[in-house]
Amino acid sequence: MNIHKMGSNKRIALIAHDNKKAELIEWAIYNKTALSRHRLFATGTTGKMLEKALDQTITKYMSGPLGGDQQIGARIAERKIDVLIFFWDPMEAQPHDPDIKALLRLGVVWNIPFACDRSTADFLLTSPLMHQDYDVIQPDYSVYLKRPPR
């Protein structure tokens, strides 16, 4: 069992599909004080909108369909993102659905907290664990490396 120390100052990735951007911006403004205690990362347009709304510097990656979701997924695998807030639109197919699925899969693989809707994001952000050090238990996937290829 591997343990990864997550500091009290979290690195939070914020992503929203087009139909959910307004909701994410509204949520972020409501939680501006709590979010200001952490480092924020976002995909393209969402990042620009959040930076303006929060008056806080945000590290911005490419737009999701152009690879931004994959960039954030890579940062999760590198242990450079601690929390993922992804307001995705369940009612509309996206041209980059495989990238979205891969991003959510990485959240589970690396055992990071993530929210895909406002209620879960509220619970996550208001958890006492959000503002203190936390030991993340990394599952042991070595058994998968020892299996013969299919």
Catalytic residue among 55, 69, 97, 135: 69
Name the residue among 114, 71, 96, 101 with its Cα closest to residue 18. Answer: 96
Distance CA(120)–CA(117), nearest Å, equals 6
Distance CA(55)–CA(42), nearest Å, equals 14
Distance CA(4)–CA(18), nearest Å, equals 33
Residue 69: active-site member: yes
Where b means 16+ CB within 10 Å and e means fewer, 72-109 reads bbebbeeeebbbbbbbbeeeeeeebeebbeebbebbee
Task: Give the largest Cα separation in the chain, rounded.
Answer: 51
State the catalytic residues.
69
